[in-house]
Amino acid sequence: MTPKVSRFLRDHAPATPCLVLDLDRVEENYRRLQAAMPLARIYYAVKANPAAPILERLTGLGSCFDAASFEEVEACLAAGARPEAISYGNTVKKESAIRAAFERGVRMFAFDSEAELRKLARSAPGASVYCRILVGNDGAEWPLSRKFGCEAEMAKELMILAGELGLDPFGISFHVGSQQTRTAAYEAAIAKVAMLFTDLAEAGVKLRMVNLGGGYPVRYRQEVPEIDEFGAAIMGAMAEHFGNALPEIVVEPGRFIVGDAGVISSEVVLVSRKAKDDPVRWVYLDIGRFGGLAETEGEAIKYAFRTPHDGGAEGPVTIAGPTCDSTDTLYEKSNYRLPLALEAGDRVELLATGAYVTTYASQAFNGFRPLAEHYL
C-alpha cells in the first residue's frame, strides 16, 4: 500500500467496499517496465483496469494500448490516445466491431484462425495483422486455456494467406499466462517464435514484430521475480534467437502496471464458527467473488490482507463474500490466518487489488452495487 492510499483511507474512511488506486504508482510501474525492457513498446492491457484516470495518465506517458473490444478502443480514444497507438488484441471480434475500429483509425489487429483473418481482410483492408500462437503456461498462477492461439504450423499458413488477402503480415504474438513467475516461460516461447520467423522468411514472408504478451507478476502473498529479471531473460533470449536483426518488440502488461497501485477497503460483516469447538473461523467480507474478486476462483490469486489487529494472536480462517450464494467463498484451502481479535465492523484492506477487480464486479447480484472507485 502506498503512503498516498494509506493517508486517503485514514483521512476519509470511504464507504466500503471500494478500490483506492494511486496513479503515481501506475506511472512508476510503467517507467520500471520501460527501464527493464527499453527496446519494447508498451501496450497497456486495458482490460486490467480501464478507468479513465489510468488511461489518461498512461496516454500522457506515451503508452500504447491493447484493446479487447471496440468499447475499449473508444475508451482509449476518449483518453487522448492516437488510433495508431491502439492494437485490437482480441482474436474473437464481431465483424462490425472490426469495421468500427478500422473506421476510427485502428490499423493493428490480432487473429488466430482463417475465419477471423478473412473478416479482417473484408473489414480492415491493408491492416497490419499478427497471429497468436499457443505456448506453454507453466509457472502462471492464472494459466490460460486453449481459447486463444493456434499451433505454429497453422500460424505459418495463415500468415502466408494474410499477404495473399492484401493484409500486412506484421508479426506473431503469444501469452505465457497471467501472474507468470518463471522467466523460462518467455524464453521457450521466444525460441518457438524465432523458428516461425525463419520458416516464414523461407516462404517469402518477412515478419517484423514479436508480441510478448503480458503476464508479468506482482507480489501478493509470495515473493516474485523482479521485472528486471524478466527483462534480462527476455532480451537475452531475443538476442540469442534473432541476433542483430531484432524485430520490433511489443509487450502487453496489465496486472504489472496497475496491480500493486490499488487497495480494496472492505468491512467485516460477520465472524462465525460452524461448531463450538471448530478451530476455523469463517470471516465474511462485504466484497466477494461476485463483487470483483473473480480471480480467487480455484484460489488462484491469493491476495494479502491488512487488519487493524495485525501483530496479535492469529488463527485459521475461511474467507467468504456476502452474497447468498455458496460459491462466494474466496479462500478455504490456502491456509489463511487472521487475528483472533477480528470482529464484525472492522475494516480490512486487500492489497495489490488494482487489476482485474472493478471490471469483474457484477452489476447487481443479490442487489449489491459494484464497489466504488477512487483514483488519487
Q: DSSP H helical segments within 136-293, as ranges? A: 152-164, 183-202, 227-242, 255-258
CB 136 within 8 A of CB 188: yes
Virtual torsion, Cα 352, 357, 358, 364, nearest 10 deg: -140
Length of the chain: 376
Distance CA 134, CA 144 (A): 10
Q: Is 324 a catalytic residue?
A: yes
The answer to whether residues 305 and 338 touch, using CB atoms and an 8 Å cutoff, is yes
* Long-range CB contacts for residues 113-117, cutoff 8 Å, separation at least 24: 113/150, 113/158, 114/158, 114/161, 116/91, 116/92, 117/158, 117/161, 117/162, 117/165, 117/167
Q: Which positions ≥6 away from 302 have C-beta within 8 Å?
A: 220, 221, 222, 296, 331, 334
Instruction: Give the up-direction half-sphere exposure of residue 264: CA atoms within 13 A in the CB hemisphere.
Output: 26
Residue type, 127: A
> 18, 64, 150, 324: which is the annotated catalytic residue?
324
Instruction: Give residues with Cβ within 8 angstroms of 248, minimum separation 6.
Output: 41, 171, 208, 209, 210
- 129 — phi, psi (to 5°)? -125, 150
Cite the active site residues: 324
